[in-house]
Amino acid sequence: SLLRLHFHDCFVQGCDASVLLSGMEQNAFPNVMSLRGFEVIDSIKAKLETMCKQTVSCADILTVAARDSVVALGGPSWTVPLGRRDSTNANEAVANSDLPPPFFDLVNLTQSFGDKGFTVTDMVALSGAHTIGQAQCLNFRDRLYNETNINSGFATSLKANCPQPTGSGDRNLANLDVLTPYSFDNAYYSNLKSQKGLLHSDQVLFTGTGGGTDNTVNNFASNPAAFSSAFASAMVKMGNLSPLTGSQGQVRLSCSKVN
């Protein structure tokens, strides 16, 4: 949840903790009733404020928390540049337009990540964040019942908790990684090769025909070190998306509201 918070922050007007402001971006379709972890950031912020008042930004806390969450679950570490400042505004419209939805195909994903300066390899590596976490039924129902590039046993195992009628079990959760849902590893890519990607936007990364991003998925599936290195590199790049620095923005006293 903390890793997702960081991603949903940085893809909307840069890594400025705008996603933490009450309302606005939190009400956008990709975020409403699904973003979590705010209380963890608030707890960290409260402790920091007692130690060094108005010094560490919410944006920096979010960036470090995302990294440390990955490490805590067995994933790679990376050096986080610090000095971000917090925005005084948030943008629900940009959240709706810039965060890639779960029904995107490969062309749309490549465009969405490319617009933020990411290579195709970066995109495939960052998608590997789905080695942890869960998704709601409403985001994978269409894949379960209407797509053919899905393992039949995998689909069957999910249908009981995600009925076909819209509105029935919409918020029910399933693990994004069926193999090792609580470990940050490269199993996500093995899932794709077995047609066990939960979201449409996951499975489009691997077709099995040797085109598109198949070679990158094969590499990350067979070489954990290659995935770890590419993921860490892409996360540094993401944490550097349009930060506010110097006298821009502010260091919020409370992450959920402006000073």
- What the block records as the tokens of 245 is 């620095």
- Residue 122, annotated ligand binder? no
- Residue 214, annotated ligand binder? no
- Residue 25, annotated ligand binder? yes
Q: Which residues contact 196 (CB under 8 A, 6 or more apart)?
A: 150, 151, 154, 178
- Residue 130, annotated ligand binder? yes
- Phi then psi dihedrals of residue 28, to 5 deg: -65, 155
- Residue 18, annotated ligand binder? yes
Written as one string, the DSSP assignment of 59-94 is HHHHHHHHHHHHHHTT----------BB-S---HHH
DSSP-based three-state secondary structure for 45: helix
- Residue 68, annotated ligand binder? no
- Residue 216, annotated ligand binder? no
User: CA neighbours within 13 Å on the CB side: how many for 183?
Assistant: 9
- Residue 79, annotated ligand binder? no
- Residue 22, annotated ligand binder? no
Pick the catalytic residue: 6, 8, 67, 141?
8
Alpha helix locations (H) across 99-256? 106-114, 120-127, 137-146, 152-159, 187-193, 200-203, 214-222, 224-239
Active site residue 6: no
- Residue 243, annotated ligand binder? no
- Phi then psi dihedrals of residue 19, to 5 deg: -70, -20
Name the binding residues for substrate.
100
Q: List the binding residues for Ca(2+).
A: 9, 12, 14, 16, 18, 25, 131, 177, 180, 185
Known binding positions: 9, 12, 14, 16, 18, 25, 100, 130-131, 177, 180, 185
Binding residues for heme b, by number, are 130
Catalytically active residues, by annotation: 8
